[in-house]
């Protein structure tokens, strides 16, 4: 067996890919927690609970995917950018672009929910309680996120008229939806709290339960990823069937049964390639180039993300045009705002 060596073409040793991914994900997660704390301070000012004003961080709009989907349809139909939640639409567009070009790299390298799921998975392994559902259960569960995705696409992308989009766009609910989301986590109903506790607990037992079975956002990126030029290739002639790749794969892909990983479940983490003990058995491939540096994909993911962020910042499509005083007005009556 030809053992893996460090090829000169690689800019980083494969064994450093998993800790690098953890570091990048942790950085985004810490930033999201900081932004969430700042938004909470803004919310306290907006509801009159403090006189100290803290600017609203635009990045909290990343957690408003429904508003972003409505904003995307409005952009396509009218050419007008969503200037109520522009950062949310920008992040959504960046994620779609990354999905199309770089597999589910947004899920694998940026998403803080994915990072939390990874931590739960590692804890489950140490506690020896991690369980892999059999195929007869796994496959039906996989369809749930796609059904949720098609439900939202049907309601918004297909059924929603331009008049309804504009009505939603300017509704008091949409103006205060970020605070609504905050209250969902700060003051959940008994049912909501029970569901969240279940999702947290089950993530220690079933690897990446939310991401794998329930996230419609991930389902959409997975469909786009089918067109991605990046693929993991396996050389069946040199494979020793050690299954290290399958044991480490966060998406539970049965890699040793494939010569090319084309599935929409692949999150582009490249950890399978990094743990393979046989040199060039698993490689990160592009058309006409079977082997590429494992650093290429994460650098491209972060590059595209920050290009979208920088462009939005420079062109005035990052900060909301709604004055804080207007948001404060609707935050004050947030309990009275029904869903549109």
pLDDT band at 340; cut points 50, 70, 90 = low
Per the document, the length of the chain is: 340
| Distance from C-alpha of 339 to C-alpha of 244, rounded to nearest angstrom | 48
Angle CA 120–282–115, to nearest 5: 20
Is 309 within 8 Å of 35 (Cβ atoms)?
A: no
pLDDT tens, residue by residue, 249-262: 999 999 999 999 99
What's the predicted TM-score (pTM) here?
Answer: 0.94
Q: Collapse the DSSP code of 4 into the 3-class scheme (helix H, G, I; strand E, B; otherwise coil) and give the result.
A: coil
DSSP class of residue 219 equals H
pLDDT tens, residue by residue, 140-185: 999 999 999 999 999 999 999 999 999 999 999 999 999 999 999 9
Task: Pull the structure tokens for residue 93.
Answer: 């567009």
- Which neighbouring-strand residues pair with 234? 282
pLDDT tens, residue by residue, 105-124: 999 999 999 999 999 999 99
In the sheet with 282-285, reading across from the earlier edge strand, the strands are 260-261, 231-234, 282-285
Q: Looking at the predicted structure, is the pLDDT value of residue 336 above 90? A: no
- How high does pLDDT run on average in the chain? 94
pLDDT tens, residue by residue, 7-60: 434 567 888 999 999 999 999 999 999 999 999 999 999 999 999 999 999 999
pLDDT tens, residue by residue, 76-98: 999 999 999 999 999 999 999 99
pLDDT tens, residue by residue, 209-231: 999 999 999 999 999 999 999 99
Q: Collapse the DSSP code of 251 into the 3-class scheme (helix H, G, I; strand E, B; otherwise coil) and give the result.
A: coil
| Distance from C-alpha of 194 to C-alpha of 312, rounded to nearest angstrom | 38
- Strand 260-261 relative to strand 282-285, pairing: unpaired
| Distance from C-alpha of 55 to C-alpha of 109, rounded to nearest angstrom | 28
Query: Exposure string (b/e) for 38-64, b if CB count within 10 Å is 16 or more?
Result: bbebbbbbbeeeeeeebebbbbbbbbb
């Amino acid at each position: 067996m030809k053992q893996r060596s460090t090829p000169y073409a690689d800019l980083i040793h494969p064994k450093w890919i998993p800790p690098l991914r953890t570091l990048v994900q942790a950085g985004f997660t810490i930033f999201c927690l900081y932004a969430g704390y700042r938004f909470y301070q803004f919310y306290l000012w907006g509801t009159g609970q403090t006189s100290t004003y803290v600017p609203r961080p635009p990045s909290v709009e990343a957690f408003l995917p429904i508003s972003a989907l409505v904003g995307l349809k409005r952009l396509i139909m009218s050419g007008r950018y969503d200037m109520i939640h522009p950062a949310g639409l920008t992040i959504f567009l960046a994620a779609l672009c990354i999905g199309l070009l770089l597999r589910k790299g947004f899920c694998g390298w940026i998403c803080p929910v994915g990072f939390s799921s990874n931590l739960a998975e590692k804890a489950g392994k140490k506690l020896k309680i991690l369980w892999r559902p059999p195929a007869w259960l796994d496959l039906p569960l996989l369809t749930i996120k796609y059904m949720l995705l098609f439900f939202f696409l049907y309601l918004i992308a297909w059924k929603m008229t331009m008049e309804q989009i504009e009505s939603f766009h300017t509704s008091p609910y949409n103006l205060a939806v970020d605070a609504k989301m905050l209250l969902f986590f700060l003051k959940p109903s008994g049912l909501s709290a029970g569901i969240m506790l279940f999702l947290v607990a089950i993530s220690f037992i079933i690897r990446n339960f939310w991401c794998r079975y329930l996230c419609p956002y991930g389902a959409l990126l997975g469909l786009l990823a089918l067109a991605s030029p990046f693929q993991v290739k396996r050389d069946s002639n040199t494979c020793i069937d050690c299954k290290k790749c399958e044991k480490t794969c966060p998406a539970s892909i049965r890699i040793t049964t494939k010569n090319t990983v084309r599935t929409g479940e692949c999150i582009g983490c490249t950890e399978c390639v990094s743990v393979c003990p046989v040199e060039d058995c698993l490689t990160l491939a592009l058309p006409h180039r079977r082997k590429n540096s494992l650093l290429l994909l994460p650098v491209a993911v972060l590059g595209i993300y920050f290009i979208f962020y920088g462009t939005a910042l420079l062109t005035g499509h990052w900060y909301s045009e709604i004055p804080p005083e207007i948001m404060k007005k609707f935050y004050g009556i947030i309990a009275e705002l029904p869903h549109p």
